């Protein structure tokens, strides 16, 4: 069964979908989104996340520890005992009976009986978490409002926290055991290629909040956010040979093409930045650090060809094409 989900909505198949919202509202479509009908609920709590294990069985979570379950495709919803009054923000199931919920005050809950009982997991944190996602039955991640990233490799028994990021994050998604993405404030798109050990910010250039990320394949993914922002990648979040048009507004490289040296002028950003030049298969050939807005990189030792110049700022990454002639 193919599943499609995003933070406040879920499609258990290509035609049936559900959207949860504020005021205890759940909408359902049976025709791929052409029409939507409101479901009858016994709560007016704001609802934050919905997940279905099949077209009939689904769950929704929200404020005041609210967990609701349906076994008839949304016709009826019953309240589950979450054992918490804290806001719950995200839900994910790894099997029909095993699921996880995260929320405020470091809350991570787990069920192994289809939602009848929920057991509090020891997250080791009091931070709020906005999104939870599992790669398989034992490996999962949760991201939070102060930038924290939690990981478990034993089905939630133990969670460890990544450090170094303070940008609020709102959604996390993994395409396989090694490759994952997390999005948040300031148009931040973080990517890991080593199972969460390190995260690289692939930030684009407009400062907006990104609220949800989802991939339909290893390379094709979507991110949505403020002001109707919709971003798409078809190469796993990488930057190809086309110049980043947003970056070109703030970065001037000349001469380009160049023979011996490339001058780089940064018109917007201050502080420390890291430069690297890679070939088109991703091998880093030159690495340089600077605190200046005007810089020069020696490319005389590079063979003639096309390269990618990557500039890493504190919270922003830009990639532009350079040519060695």
- CA 264 and chain centroid, separation: 31
The pLDDT assigned to 229 comes to 72
**Lowest-pLDDT range, 94-98, 101-105, 145-149, 240-244?**
240-244
pLDDT of 2 above 60: no
Q: Which residue has the higher pLDDT, 112 or 319?
A: 112
Q: What is the mean pLDDT of residues 165-169?
A: 84
Instruction: Report the sign of the C-alpha dihedral through residues 12, 211, 267, 166, in that order.
Output: negative
C-alpha 222/C-alpha 244 separation (Å) is 18
CB atoms within 10 A of CB 62: 24
Residue range 253-257: mean pLDDT, rounded: 90
* CB-based contacts of 240, cutoff 8 Å, min separation 6: none
> Burial of 154 by CB count in 10 Å (0-12 exposed, 13-18 middle, 19+ buried)?
exposed
Can you list the domains of the chain with their CATH numbers?
Answer: 4-233 (2.130.10.10), 247-324 (2.60.40.3080)
Per-residue model confidence (pLDDT) at position 131: 95
Query: Residues for the chain: how many in total?
Result: 325
Query: If you average pLDDT over every residue of the chain, what do you get?
Result: 84
Which pTM value belongs to this model?
0.72
pLDDT band at 66 (very low <50, low <70, confident <90, very high): very high
The residues, any chain, with a CB within 8 Å of residue 126's CB and separated by 6 or more, are: 105, 106
For residue range 110-132, what is the model confidence (pLDDT) as tens digits? 999 999 999 998 887 788 899 99
Residue 315 pLDDT class (50, 70, 90 cuts): low
Report d(CA 14, CA 310) in Å as an integer: 39
Give the pLDDT of residue 282. Answer: 60
Which has more confidence, 45 or 241? Answer: 45
């Amino acid at each position: 069964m193919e599943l499609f989900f995003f933070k406040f909505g879920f499609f258990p198949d290509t035609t049936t979908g559900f959207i949860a919202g504020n005021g205890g509202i759940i909408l359902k479509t049976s025709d791929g989104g052409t029409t939507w009908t409101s479901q009858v609920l016994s709560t007016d709590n704001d609802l934050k996340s919905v997940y279905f294990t099949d077209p009939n069985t689904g769950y929704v979570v929200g404020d005041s520890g609210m967990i609701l379950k349906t076994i008839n495709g949304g016709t009826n919803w019953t309240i589950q005992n979450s054992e918490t009054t804290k806001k719950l923000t995200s839900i994910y199931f790894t099997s029909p009976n095993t699921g996880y919920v995260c929320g405020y005050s470091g809350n991570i809950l787990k069920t192994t009986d289809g939602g009848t009982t929920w057991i509090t997991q020891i997250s080791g944190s009091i931070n709020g978490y906005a999104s939870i996602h599992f790669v398989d039955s034992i490996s999962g991640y949760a991201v939070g409002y102060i930038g924290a990233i939690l990981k478990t490799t034993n089905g939630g028994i133990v969670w460890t926290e990544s450090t170094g990021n303070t940008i609020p994050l709102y959604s996390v998604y993994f395409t396989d055991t090694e490759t994952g993405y997390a999005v948040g404030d300031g148009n931040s798109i973080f990517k890991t290629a080593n199972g969460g050990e390190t995260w690289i910010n692939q930030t684009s250039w407009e400062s907006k909040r990104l609220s949800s990320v989802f991939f339909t394949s290893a390379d094709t993914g979507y991110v949505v956010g403020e002001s109707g922002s919709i971003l798409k990648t078809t190469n796993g979040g990488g930057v190809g040979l086309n110049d980043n048009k947003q970056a070109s507004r703030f970065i001037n490289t000349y001469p380009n093409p160049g023979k011996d040296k490339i001058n780089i002028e940064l018109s917007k950003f201050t502080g420390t930045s890291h430069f690297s030049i890679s070939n088109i298969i991703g091998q880093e050939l030159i690495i340089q650090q600077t605190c200046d807005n005007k810089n020069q990189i020696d490319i005389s030792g590079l063979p003639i060809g096309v390269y990618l110049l990557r500039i890493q700022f504190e919270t922003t990454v830009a990639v532009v094409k350079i040519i060695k002639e």
